[in-house]
Amino acid sequence: MITIEIDDHEIQAALRRLQRQIGDLTPAMQEIGEYLVQSTKDRFARAEDPEGNPWPALSPVTIERKGHDKPLVGESKRLSSEIFVRPDRDSVEVGSALEYAAVQQFGARKGEFGTDRHGRPIPWGDISKRPFIGLSNDDRAEILDIIEEYLARAIGG
């Protein structure tokens, strides 16, 4: 499993204010996580990273092999559908447990993982990074809205 930490000072400050009011942030973290799961899944439909940049196009060889030109969409569509959320008292994890998720997020060089039993490189060619996990500006705004709603309820507003 890989970890990407989002260090957003504005969100962390809002979460600290909320934690002082209600203590256990699990319900808020669950809502934030569910929002981020949907936001992440939506990126697959738009074929773009969290900042709105289009993912690199597939190579002609990959397009021929897959029969389509949609990045990060395999036959099973597992990567786009198996995004998990794991909330707790003071944090939330959103991600994928799929073995190949990190390669898609960060990319990989030809042969980076060695060779197969026939001596062929793994992967057989360079794989461009296509980040799908992360926060967009819209995500940040929505997270802050969720936190503010919890704060308003906590202080009776």
Give Cα separations from 24 to 63, 87, 125 (angstroms): 48, 11, 47
Q: Tell me whether residue 3 is in a domain.
A: no
Report the pLDDT value the prediction gives residue 1, as an integer from 0 to 100: 54
Q: Tell me whether residue 91 is in a domain.
A: yes
Whole-angstrom Cα distance, residue 63 to residue 129?
17
Please provide the distance, in angstroms rounded to a whole number, between the alpha carbons at the two ends of the chain: 40
Report the pLDDT value the prediction gives residue 98, as an integer from 0 to 100: 92
Q: Are 122 and 111 in contact (CB under 8 A)?
A: yes
Q: Tell me whether residue 137 is in a domain.
A: yes
Domain count, the chain: 1
Low-confidence ranges of the chain (pLDDT < 70): 1-5, 157
Q: Tell me whether residue 1 is in a domain.
A: no
Find the domain containing 129 and state its range: 9-154
Q: Tell me whether residue 4 is in a domain.
A: no
Report the pLDDT value the prediction gives residue 95, as an integer from 0 to 100: 93
